[in-house]
Structure formats: structure tokens, C-alpha cells
Amino acid sequence: MAAGSGLGHNPGDRRYTTEHEWIKPDGDQYVIGITAFAQDQLGDITGEVVEVNGELVDQPQSVNDDPYERGWMIKIRGADTGEVEKLLTAEQYSEQTGD
């Protein structure tokens, strides 16, 4: 399998978090994504990316400081409502995380 195929093989050219994200050096920058395991667990979340939170370029700490408001990452259009409804509610997520 190719290093970036994402077909169940974890490429050796990047590092991983226990929360199923990866980071890969790209010159003096880093590329970040989710693992094949994570995308499999999420299922098919459909939609077209229509906006990226440009404020994160200058204030990436917003993801940590205010993850539910200023720290959002992307907006999508055309999400399949049926698929979204299959995701956890806030209560279910709290039960899973113990929060």
C-alpha cells in the first residue's frame, strides 16, 4: 500500500495522537488529518467545504481556548441530515467521554 493510501495502513512518515489524528512534516510546516480508523468510525459525512476558519491562521489557540465557538474549523453544505442524525447527541457524547 502507498504511504498515503489510508486503507488501514498507518504511514510511517507521520506521528499519531491517541485521539486518532495524524501530523506530518511538510518542509517548515505540518499537515494534520484524521486516521483511517477515525474516518471508519465516523462513517460517511458528506458535504462540500464552503468555508474555512481563516482566523485560526493567526489564532490557532482558539481551537483550545474556545472549541465550540471561535475554534471551529470548516463549514460544509449539503450534509446528509440522515447521516448527521446518526452521530452522538451531547448527552451521549458526555456519557462516552465521562465529561
| Domain membership flag for residue 95 | no
pLDDT for 83: 78
Q: Are residues 38 and 62 in the same domain?
A: no
Q: Which domain holds residue 37?
A: 1-43
CA-CA distances (angstroms) from residue 92 to 2, 37, 67, 68?
37, 21, 19, 17
Q: Are residues 30 and 17 in the same domain?
A: yes
Q: In angstroms, how far is CA 98 from the centroid of its own chain?
A: 21
Q: What is the pLDDT of residues 26-82, one digit of tens each?
A: 999 998 888 888 888 877 667 888 999 999 999 999 999 999 999 999 998 876 778
Q: Are residues 28 and 14 in the same domain?
A: yes
Helix/strand/coil percentages in the chain, nearest 5 = 30, 25, 50
